[in-house]
Every structure is written in C-alpha cells, then in structure tokens.
Structure 1
Amino acid sequence: MQKILSQLFNTNLHALELLFIAYRRLKKDDPVLSRQLFDKFKTGMLQHIEQEEQSLLPELCQVTGDAELIRKARREHQQLRQQLDWIENLLDKRIDSQEDDRSLELMLSDHIENDEFGLYPCCDKLLNTDAVTRVLMELYP
C-alpha cells in the first residue's frame, strides 16, 4: 500500500488541473463548453477539498498531533473556494475573468505543489494500514 494515497490524490488533482486548462483554452472559441468544463472543475475541486478536510487531514493530525496543519490547509482551501466562487460569479455575469483565472491558476499550482510534495508523501510515510483504510472508506462510502 506504499504511496497509494499519493497516487490516488495526485491523479485526482492532475485530472482537475486538465479540466481547468481545457476551460481556459476553450474560453474564446467555445464559451458554452468552456463553462461546462469550469463547472466540472469547480465541482471536482470542491469534492477534492472536502475529501482532504474530512478524511485525510484528520487522520494525519491524529498521528502527528499537529492541529496547525489542518488550520493551514483549511486557509488554503478557503482561498481556493473563494476564488472559484468569484470566477463563477464573473462567468454568470459574462464578465472577463482572465486575470482572475490566472490568480486561480497560481493558487492551484501552489496547492498541487503543497499536496504533491508535502501532504501526500507525509501521509504515505506516517499513516499505517488501518488509517489508510479509514481514508479509503471515507472516499468510497
């Protein structure tokens, strides 16, 4: 089971990143499809954040005793949620969101880097088989 959490969560994050890239790429040529891609990306990103906050982070906090880890991740997640809502609002009003998209891209890159090189390897290293199983049971109810 070594690195299963990294593989699982990284695959999910990279799939979401591809949806975001496609949304931005198609924005001018096919605004309807672009909007659908954004909506899928937002839904997936919110689900990803929820999975981290509800299953992965509590298990890691239980092992490390580091509650600051959860607070830091939740602050980052809140910023992502706010930016997603902001862009959705701009898209609803048909207002150009190019600069805001760029801000979200930077936030997303930071989030992926923090998770890929920090959170997930830490979980793989510190969580035992029982904890990993609990995380998986939360992810696949």
Structure 2
Amino acid sequence: MNVPSHKIQKEHPAAADELPFQMPLMQTMQVCVEIWGEACNFTISRLDANVRTQRKILDSGSLDEIQVVQWRHVEKMMDDYHDEVGRMIKYCQGLPETAQFPPGASGNQTAGHRAAGDSGKRPGGQAG
C-alpha cells in the first residue's frame, strides 16, 4: 500500500487519556516493578540481618547466649515477614482487576474432567 509521507506525519497515536479504554498493562507493569524492588530490598535487609546474627553467634561465649541471639533473630524475622506481607498486599491492591470471562461451552472444568470427555466421569471411573 502506497501512503504519502505527509499523511503519515499528520497522524499521531492517541495519548493514553484519549483512548476509549483503560490501559491496565502499564499500571500492572508499574506495580510489578515496585513489587520486585520491594522484594529485592527485603531480601537484602534479611540477608544483612542474618549476617549480623551469625557474627553475634560467633562472638557468643556460651550456648545460652547463642540461644538468646537465635531467639531474638527469629522474633525479628517473624516481625519483618509480617510487615513485608502487609506491604506486598498494599502493592497488589494497586493491580487492575483481571477480566472476568464467561465459561466456555464446556464450562469451567478441571483437566481431569476434560480428559474424560462428556461422560461426566473423572479419570479412574468416578462420577463427577
């Protein structure tokens, strides 16, 4: 198809706010980048805490001290993971809702039901 260049130059893609539909892909990608960054920062901080704990264990003079150091480490670890789950949930709430598609002609079936065909029986002879 031969299109003159002056026609191409006059056309421009619509801006995101001009589109008749929303673009959830960009929002999803932004949230994924934020989640990945948060996960990396969390992993680094947990590794640093683990190294500090190992150093304290090596510097301990008795088994009782080692138990106290390990117990404090586990308590902090549980608090950190609890806080991180809360942050991840907040990030996931920023994701756009997924499209809801109606079930196909065969309905929502597990792979086992589809493999058994239309007989309604599960593999192994059990009725569905």
TM > 0.5: no
TM-score (norm 1): 0.33
Q: More helix by proportion, 1 or 2?
A: 1
Which structure has the bigger radius of gyration? Answer: 2
TM-score (norm 2): 0.35
